[in-house]
Amino acid sequence: MDALPITEETDVEYASQTAGVMHACGHDGHTAIGLSVAKLLVKFQQEWPGTVKIVFQPAEEGLGGAKMMVDEGVLENPKPDYSLSMHIWNDSPLGQIAATPGPAMAAADLFTLKIFGKGAHGAYPHQGNDPILAASQVVSAVQSIVSRNVDPLETAVVSITAINGGTAFNIIPPAVELKGTIRTFLPEVREMVVQRFCEIVEGVSRSMGCRAELLIETVSPAVVNDERLARLVNRVRSEVLPDTGDISGLRTMGSEDMAYMMTDIPGCYIFVGSKNAAQDLVYGHHHPKFNFDEQALINGIALVSASALAILNDQF
């Protein structure tokens, strides 16, 4: 499930056998957890009423797999009352688990901005309208959105991650392209950030004698955990995994399209710590040396299975 275009640099026996592709985010571990949860629930099927759907979500890495599954009816016939999801989390040590009430992961928007000016010789800039200069002003100006427009008690990210333009040392190009991302938790903050971003891009470009074309694409909404369900998961964790630590309150500006499955159904997205410094399992997600402590698999299986049983038996 969801290998990444990265050349693996681990020397484990289960390392990728395909050059240039590896499991660098833990999705193979998630598959193992999902299969094990299914086996446990079937084994104890006499102890719970209701119906359980086990969903393996493909194409999470920016391709919108969850939304495609929702559009194709994964949440129908029957429609679930609750959802549980999880991610092995190498940013947190093994034994640390988070089921954060409320926003847990950010909404993600991607943008492509093209600024068109008028090309000229580098020695005669007055004969053109420099889109590189305009782009430089835009990069600086949009950083004021978070520092001056977003409530200091809220949060957002505006990142310019790519700038492409120009071909030679003595040519002012006719156009420049910029790419980046906007991250927010609250819908009202997102609306304001996007509005200010559009206003600044248009205003700055026009003031520099240039024209802007902006495309913003939504990757996923924010992951917002149902508070009642998060309390249940945290209670179950203390009962079945008493030696683990509660780090609920963990939030990340990373995104996750599981949010589409949680839009109309109360859900809880769980982070299961998997880092182990003693075994040098410290590399972050999407790193060529990514690997995790497999005890995290056991923790994930136990917590998701027990939480599902508690929900099915209405033990809120």
Fill in the amino acid letter for 56: F
pLDDT at residue 25, as a whole number: 87
Pick the CATH number of 107-220 from 3.40.47.10, 3.40.50.1000, 3.40.50.300, 3.30.70.360: 3.30.70.360
Task: Tell me the two tokens of residue 86.
Answer: 């999880």
Q: What amino acid positions are annotated as catalytic residues? A: 2, 60
CA separation for the pair 230, 238 (Å, rounded): 13
The CATH classification number of 27-105+222-312 equals: 3.40.630.10
φ and ψ at 92, to 5 degrees?
-120, 145
pLDDT at residue 264, as a whole number: 87
pLDDT at residue 62, as a whole number: 66
Residues 6+ apart with CB under 8 A from 90: 26, 274, 275, 281, 282, 283, 284, 285, 290, 292
CA separation for the pair 270, 234 (Å, rounded): 10
pTM confidence score: 0.87
CA separation for the pair 307, 35 (Å, rounded): 16
pLDDT at residue 22, as a whole number: 86
pLDDT at residue 202, as a whole number: 97
CA separation for the pair 235, 82 (Å, rounded): 17
Q: What is the mean pLDDT of each run of 10 residues along the chain (316 residues)?
A: 81 88 88 94 90 84 79 90 94 95 95 97 95 96 96 95 94 96 96 97 97 95 96 96 93 92 93 94 90 94 96 89
Nearest to 271 by CA among 89, 136, 137, 123: 89
Domain boundaries, the chain: 27-105+222-312, 107-220
> Strands 245-246, 267-275: parallel, antiparallel or unpaired by DSSP?
unpaired
pLDDT at residue 5, as a whole number: 85
